[in-house]
A and B are shown apart, each in its own frame.
Chain A
Amino acid sequence: MRLLAAGLACCLMAACAKSPTVAPPPPSTAVQPTAAMEANRRAEASLRRGELDSAAHSYREALRLSLAVEDANGIAANAVNLSIVYQRQGNYTEARAALAPLLERATLAHAPAHRAQAALRRAVLDLEQGRAAEAAEWAGRAAAWCGDPCALAGAIRNVQGQLALQAGRLDEAGAAARSALAASRASAETAEIANAQRLLGMVALAAGDGATAINALNEALVIDRELGISRRIALDLIGLGRASMLRGERDAARTYFARALEVSTADRDAAGAGAARTLLDTLKGQK
């Protein structure tokens, strides 16, 4: 009986044990260079602290290390991250150049999803710089590379909707926003759901439909509060204030603008605070 129990225990221990030496190596795509990954994590931590310069430095280092070992996943991730940081710094040329290893100067066969991400980033950059034609072209490429189903479909449609809104094609913008909303809900992309709602609100504002705008922007505001993105909250509040003005509710509009001013001031966003203050002054001047 003792021997039987001991044998059973040995079998159990043997089943639990797993020597790392005999384990098969992980697939090459999953192996990430430690140094590049450490730089990637450092950059992420810097970004959380709001240290954009430090984040850009670490992402540059991570991208260099990834390029040095031809790590396609690392190149894609760090190039996209670096372009985002550069854009937040207002350095658009560098932001565009950071994406080159995935687009113009790609020497590796990157995954279509990564190329779609890079193309979408280019579209967002061109949109910010007012290059509507280039933005539309890159958004189209992003959609083509992303395929179907596409995890970026909501973001791509939102960008296309913004381009249509800027061009004054309200119907097209509304359709794109609704499509983005559906795609984002399908992929559970909360931030893009908020963006789609905000876009719907903007389209409604442009169409003079204050009630629809308020509904959509309130939806966006709830999500942005959950995500804790102060500048989007301020943007939603300003949109709500405009919608209230459209409906003739001046007191409500004043409250929204005052809230936007409060949020921007607390977030140390001088430009946002300036915009909210200007709207408040405009409202006072219209008395």
Chain B
Amino acid sequence: MQDQQVLPRRFPGIRRRISLFLVVAICGLVGAVLLVAYKQGAFVRHTSIFFYADDVFGINRGMSVRLFGVPVGNVKSLAIGVRGVQVELSINSEYLPRLTKGSHARLLREGYIGQANIQLVPGNDPKGSREPLAEGDVIGYLPVRGVAELVDDIRNQLAPVVGELRRMVAELNRPDGDFRKSLLAANTVLQQLPDTNRELRQFLRDTDRTVVAVGGRAEAALASTARLADQAGKELPEVTRKLGATLDAIAEAATEVRSATRKNGEALHEALSQTPALIRDGAQLVRDGQDVVGAAKNSWLLRDYVEPTAMRTLRVDSFEAFGGSAKAPTAPSLR
């Protein structure tokens, strides 16, 4: 007798359905994992670059790295090294061509209380190279000045200003200072202003009366001036006539002087024009004289007594080394 298990007829094909379900579930799970990995950038090629910082306060693993505000990678690792803390950045290789050698990183916060991230700033290579960054390259890091440092900076800049303000206020408050003296003087002037105004009005009234009184005298003076002008008008023709006669005499004298000068100039010109001829004649006379003297020298009466002309040679002096006519004599070494 053998018991044979009999499957219930109410689950026909259940095995196949379960298998199908499992396959679908596994595929969905794998798809979800792949989707998450894709979203996390698992299928994107990354390049590691580094920078060194004295401290990495505010920098954490996984922190976003941005270029022009665009996320291009993240902080992959932090390690303490000889040069400080080594920060490894994993950068999407797609953006590497935009990061040339000479780029540097800095810690940036989105607002004063926002999320921090690493910002990459493309820079110029000091050597002028436009070569993009490569795997393992080290870039510079610009440490961020903290709030305390900013406050210190502002305080250092404001301190002299505040000191100067204090000194100015003290100067203003000093009783014997220039400012107080000026204020007192101004106050005095202001107090005297009504009296000054009153005196000025009085002066203007006096001036008005004086002008009225002087007006009559001025009219009399003008009448006198008119009489003088009439008299001058009558006498002026006579004076003009005499002056004209004088000028005529002067012109006549000038004409005579000019004439005399012209005559002298002509005489001088005549003399000068004759000068070359005179010089030529003189030269000819000298040549003739030389010829006569030469002939006389060649005559049998004189030729034996005339020294023949020749170049003269200075005597060669054996003691010239001890001073000629111009050089100082130096005694020879006497032992």
Contact = CB atoms under 8 A, between A and B. Distances in A.
Whether chain B is bound by chain A comes out as yes
Interface of A: 16, 18, 20, 23, 30, 32, 36-37, 40-41, 44, 47, 50, 52, 62, 66, 73-74, 76-78, 80-81, 84, 87-90, 117, 120-121, 124-125, 127-128, 152, 154-156, 158-159, 162, 165-166, 168, 180, 191-192, 195, 198, 202, 205-206, 229, 231-232, 234-235, 238-239, 242, 269-272, 275
Interface string B33-60: 0000000000000000000000000000
Given A32-B310, A47-B325, A77-B313, 9 more contacts: A77-B311, A84-B316, A87-B327, A120-B318, A158-B319, A162-B332, A231-B325, A235-B323, A269-B323
A186 B323 CA distance: 25
A269 B309 CA distance: 35
Contact of B301 (A16, A155, A269): A16
Interface stretch (B115-123, B165-173, B244-252, B291-299): B291-299
A278 B334 CA distance: 15
Interface in B315-335: 315-335
5 contacts: A18-B300, A154-B318, A162-B318, A231-B323, A275-B330
A202 B295 contact: no
Contact of B313 (A76, A168, A202, A271): A76
Nearest to A233: B329
Contact of B321 (A47, A128, A206): A128
Contact of A20 (B298, B321, B326, B331): B298
A87 B317 CA distance: 12
Interface residues of B, number: 35
Given A50-B325, A89-B326, A272-B323, A32 B318 contact: no
B312 interface: yes
Contacts of B328: 231, 269-272, 275
A198 B313 contact: no
Given A16-B299, A16-B301, A32 B309 contact: yes
B16 to A, nearest CB: 127
A80 B313 contact: yes
A20 B295 contact: yes
A192 B318 contact: yes
Given A235-B331, A271-B330, A275-B330, A162 B323 contact: no
A78 B321 contact: no
A88 B312 CA distance: 18
Nearest to A160: B318
B320 A124 contact: yes
A123 B33 CA distance: 115
Nearest to A39: B311
Contacts of A242: 331, 334
B312 to A, nearest CB: 6
Contacts of A37: 309-311
A10 B295 CA distance: 20
Contacts of B320: 84, 87-88, 124, 128
Contacts of A18: 295, 298-300
Nearest to B315: A191
A73 B320 CA distance: 23
Contacts of B329: 231-232, 234-235, 238, 269, 271-272, 275
Contacts of B314: 44, 47, 80-81, 84
B321 A127 contact: yes
Contacts of B321: 124-125, 127-128, 162
Interface in B270-304: 291, 294-295, 298-301
Contact of A156 (B308, B311, B318): B318
B319 to A, nearest CB: 5
A209 B107 CA distance: 106
Contacts of B330: 271, 275
B311 A73 contact: yes
Residue of A66, A158, A235, A238 with most partner-chain B CB within 10 A: A235
B334 to A, nearest CB: 5
Nearest to A82: B314
A78 to B, nearest CB: 7
A77 B319 contact: no
Nearest to B310: A32
Nearest to B328: A271
A269 B294 CA distance: 44
A229 B319 CA distance: 12
A20 B331 CA distance: 56
Contacts of B317: 124, 155, 191-192, 195
B178 to A, nearest CB: 71
Nearest to B332: A202
A272 B334 CA distance: 16
A40 B325 contact: no
A242 B329 CA distance: 15
B332 A41 contact: no
Contact of B326 (A88, A121, A155, A202): A88
Nearest to A236: B329
Contacts of A52: 326
A47 B313 CA distance: 12
Contacts of A36: 311
B316 A16 contact: no
- Across the A-B interface, give the 8 residue pairs with the lowest CB-CB distance, nearest first: A271-B328, A128-B321, A158-B318, A77-B311, A155-B318, A88-B326, A77-B313, A231-B323
Contacts of A155: 316-318
